[in-house]
Structure 1
């Protein structure tokens, strides 16, 4: 879907505050509510807007440790990757997972309560996945930037 300037403006505003009423959104974009609502609905139906969520402060819910885990798989086949993906998708500690080019096959992002939880995660979950050959972990010392809004 090709976005026009008004749709981009609407998306920029909704990424900052998805609780804006149609009237408030329309006022900020400079259009009447009905056409504004229609544009939002079009973007929802086209899948541009996938949904609306609450952004939770991970520190306030006890998830102060951010860990990146690089994973190298034993083999490179569709079956191996499919099995690995199914297991990782079912794991709630993994908040992001990317398949990569290069020496690392996949990159996982985890939010955990502490380093002890990382040890449990590694021993009770990750290292039990038979498709994994090698893992390398990096613990974030502090978060410098973490944005959810896309640059439109």
Structure 2
């Protein structure tokens, strides 16, 4: 699939605010509303747009709920064969507390971003993902005290 400057402009605009109307999106990128609608549909069908979601302010939601804890975990496995990496990855991505899961190198095998209500909930996650897995050799966890930046945008080259 080849993308032109309009496609790239639509992708960039949607990353900034996917909640605006199709008419406003079309005006922002300088095309007609039917063109914007058709192009966005094509980009979605091609799998370039995975989902359109609302991003919640974790700190404000946590304040309303009473608590919230973000942890970053480095996980090293004893056996790193592909089947072992895939098995851990499957378990991690199925856990609701895991917000992001990355295979990394060098160093640990995985870095996980976890979001839980409080320390007892973190301990339950640690038991499920780390303690019960005989292949987990080492886990280093960092608890976030403040988030200075959180981004979701995929960098796009100017004009594609």
- TM-score w.r.t. structure 1 length? 0.90
How many angstroms apart in 1 are the aligned matches of 2:30 and 2:107?
50
Q: CA RMSD for the aligned pairs?
A: 1.7
Indicate yes or no: 2:68 matched with 1:88.
no
1:29-82 Cα offsets, whole Å, 9 max, x none, are 111111111211111111111121121222233363211100100101122112
How many angstroms apart in 1 are the aligned matches of 2:28 and 2:16?
13
Partner of 2:121: 117
1:61-119 Cα offsets, whole Å, 9 max, x none, are 33632111001001011221122122112100001111111121111100122333323
Aligned residues: 152
Partner of 2:142: 138
1:1-152 equivalence runs, <5 A: 1-62=1-62, 64-152=68-156
Question: Which ranges of structure 1 fall in alignment gaps of 5 or more residues?
Answer: none
How many angstroms apart in 2 are the aligned matches of 1:79 and 1:53?
32
How many angstroms apart in 2 are the aligned matches of 1:120 and 1:105?
21
How many angstroms apart in 1 are the aligned matches of 2:152 and 2:80?
32
Deviation at 1:20, TM superposition (A): 1.7
